[in-house]
Amino acid sequence: MSGPFKRRPSLKSLPPISLPPGAIRKGSIRRQSSVGLGLKSTTTAAPQEVPWDMLDRMLLPVVFCHAAAVILSNALNVLHISEVTTFTLFIWFTIVTIGAVLFYHNLKVTAAGKAVLVTGCDSPIGSALARQLDDQGFTVFAGFQNASDSSAAEELKEFCSGRLHVLQLDVSSETQILAASLYA
């Protein structure tokens, strides 16, 4: 490279970092964070909403209200059904649409009583998803291809609550799918 830029050293050439023996602990308590350090925050960081989020959410529906008002007003006037103005229809459509958007925006859905089937929990992504859904309060049915001798299944049972159920589930086997559907 030319100029004042320097080439960064390769990540493979970095020296290994040694940590003191007590720096990383393997937790054995239930409901531990997925990081494995045992540190849980007591405050939940809810995403803060800024004013332009609502503006972004309302902009497209209001534009569609205007388009629908123009089309419906012209159609009704051409067919001599009604002499309604575009502005009247626009105001009516906008009030109804903004009411529906605000209702949907403020709707709170809880995880209580809801169940989720997660297949492929042998992989780290499936296991992390099952753990996250269990932390959120869902009843989780975690499907493993080989649940009886899987260390990942035992680890998931140990760290999650009683709402997590481990299933023997190979998605290519119809008999295992039927057996999993009859699990109670």
Q: Judge whether 87 lies within some domain.
A: yes
Same domain assignment for residues 90 and 124: no
Which of 105, 127, 142 is the endpoint of a domain? 105
Q: Residue 154's domain is classified under what CATH number?
A: 3.40.50.720
Q: Judge whether 23 lies within some domain.
A: no
Q: Judge whether 97 lies within some domain.
A: yes
pLDDT at 16: 59
Residue type, 95: I
pLDDT at 53: 77
CB 169 within 8 A of CB 181: no
Q: What is the mean pLDDT of each run of 10 residues along the chain (184 residues)?
A: 57 56 51 46 58 81 95 93 92 96 85 88 90 91 87 87 88 87 78
Q: Judge whether 89 lies within some domain.
A: yes
Alpha carbon distance 169, 154 (integer Å): 15
112: DSSP letter = T
Same domain assignment for residues 131 and 166: yes
Q: What domain range includes position 87?
A: 51-105
Same domain assignment for residues 131 and 158: yes
Q: Judge whether 73 lies within some domain.
A: yes
Same domain assignment for residues 67 and 97: yes
Same domain assignment for residues 155 and 132: yes
pLDDT at 78: 92
Q: Judge whether 25 lies within some domain.
A: no
CB 148 within 8 A of CB 127: no
CB 38 within 8 A of CB 27: yes
Same domain assignment for residues 96 and 122: no
Alpha carbon distance 156, 131 (integer Å): 7
> Of how many residues is the chain composed?
184
The residues pairing with 116 across neighbouring beta strands, listed in sequence order, are 140
Q: Judge whether 83 lies within some domain.
A: yes
Same domain assignment for residues 94 and 125: no
Same domain assignment for residues 133 and 89: no
Same domain assignment for residues 87 and 145: no
CB 73 within 8 A of CB 84: yes
Same domain assignment for residues 119 and 101: no
Q: Judge whether 27 lies within some domain.
A: no
Residues whose CB is less than 8 angstroms from the CB of residue 171 and which lie 6 or more positions away in sequence, other chains included:
119, 143, 177
Angle of CA points 75, 81, 82, to nearest 5°: 85
Considering its fold, how many domains does the chain have in total?
A: 2
Same domain assignment for residues 101 and 123: no
